[in-house]
Structure 1
Amino acid sequence: MSFNQYIDHTILKAETKKEDVLRIIKEAKENHFCSVCINPTWVSLAAKELADSDVKVCTVIGFPLGANTTAVKAFETTDAINNGADEVDMVINIGALRDGNEELVLNDIQAVVDAAKDKALVKVIIETALLTDEEIVKACQLAQKAGADFVKTSTGFSTSGAKAKDVALMRQTVGPDMGVKASGGIHTAQEAQSMLDAGATRLGVSASMAIIAGEKGTGY
């Protein structure tokens, strides 16, 4: 099976250099990956380099903790879109969710969705490693209510990444029409396939080249 069309080719490490970003852009173009997922500082470069390509420019908002204020997340979204982002992956306010403050979580997501409206696709990172099953369900319901396009498992910067059982629960919660992105800790074709089988429609991986070659990769 070809995974290429599902892959957000990802590089989000703090130490990332320009040459690293240019490398993943080149790899994404050559292998027809869905997008490159990069930190906001690289969006303008990626948009320029991918202008003649079908590969989308994806960036992150409120990353990786989700603890920015709602106004900051909305501004980050507008700024990213102005710089050429096609997709934004935002982190929810995880502490607010765990406190049961559904109104704050909903408004937080809604602000990003509103800022991106008709301009960029919104994926909502819920950080499944830090949540109970009940909290995963609630986070997915709030993301769906806010009008987001996807729910996403993980930042890749927490205690663990995507698990197939969590992807399956997310898919069960949001139904067939909303996107589900599995990210974090996916290093082999077998792991990638298990996420798709569980209901994922997008894969956030830095081991993309190893996965499509049938090898075991490392990283995000």
Structure 2
Amino acid sequence: MPQDKLRTKGDLPQFIDHTLLRPEATSVDVQRYCNEAIDNGFKSVCVNPWFVELAAHYLSDGNVSTCAVIGFPLGASPTRVKLAEAYAVLEAGADELDMVLAISALKDGDLATVENDIRQIKQACGPKILKVILETCLLTHEEKIAACQAAHRARADFVKTSTGFSHGGAAIADVRLLRETVGVDLGVKASGGIRSGPDVHAMIDAGASRIGSSSGAALLSDATK
């Protein structure tokens, strides 16, 4: 079980995945985010596959993990494409993968496909951490529960609320629901629209064990006031 599935607020920096997923991001931005993550003691830097090798290089001498997104942001790629992407980022140095689940399959009620999609990526990851992005703003209450259960059965390590690229981000009620559904067996990552220290504390109180944010340094400063 990854040690950060449940944390205490005494280790706030280790909650944060410092996230750079803007399509216009540059290599200079990646270096800056990596330096900020090292300086603040964050858990990871999360980047698009294009920048995984560069981020892994900048983070190679520290304790900050390199995280890559897969099937991002729609989750609409066939499993074989997600697998190819997973193998590519793992070879490039990724320590963690955040994959978008097969949202359309979930909406169709095809839970076998949803679960198989996750399971194959987790098998590719091996001991490395896999987080499954549910995109909760697009799901019904029942679909959120079903997605969590599929991720659990497929042996994912985390469920995650959002990509930050749809019409809604993390909601406290959703974080609480995800934690209630997965219990202590999986981590819960809240991501999307978390903009203040009080937001961070509210998400953690609701059950989040990771916080995804493109403003990690400012969030940490505000949350530790």
What's the TM-score bracket when you normalise by the shorter of the two chains?
over 0.9
Identity of aligned residues (%): 51
Q: Which runs of 5+ in 1 are unaligned?
A: 216-220
Which residue in the other structure is 1:66 paired with?
Answer: 75
Is 1:174 the equivalent of 2:182? yes
How many angstroms apart in 2 are the aligned matches of 1:47 and 1:34? 13
Counterparts of 1:20-59 in structure 2 under 5 Å?
Answer: 20-59=29-68
Could you report, residue by residue, the CA deviation over 1:89-116 in whole angstroms, capped at 9, with x for unpaired residues?
A: 0000101101100111011101100111
1:10 paired with 2:8, answer: no
1:32 positional shift: 0.4
2:175 is the alignment partner of 1:189:
no
Q: CA deviation at 1:183?
A: 0.2
Deviation of residue 117 (structure 1)?
Answer: 1.0
Q: Which residue of 1 aligns with 2:3?
A: none
Q: Deviations over 1:11-31 (max 9, x none)?
A: 101000111111000000000
Q: Which position in structure 1 is the counterpart of 2:153? A: 145
Point out 4+ residue stretches in structure 1 off by more than 6 angstroms. none
Aligned residues: 214
What is the Cα deviation at residue 171 of structure 1? 0.4
State the one-letter code of the partner of 2:184: P
Q: Root-mean-square deviation (CA), in Å?
A: 1.0
- 1:102-181 matches, within 5 Å, as 102-118=111-127, 120-181=128-189
Structure 2 counterpart of 1:26, one-letter code: N
Counterpart in 2 of 1:218? none
Q: TM-score, normalized by length of structure 2? A: 0.93
What TM-score do the two structures reach when normalised by structure 1?
A: 0.95
1:3, CA displacement in angstroms? Answer: 2.3
- How far 1:211 moved relative to its partner? 1.1
Q: Say whether residues 1:82 and 2:91 are aligned partners.
A: yes
Quote the Cα distance in structure 2 between the aligned partners of 1:214 and 1:127.
Answer: 26
| SS of aligned partner of 2:205 | helix
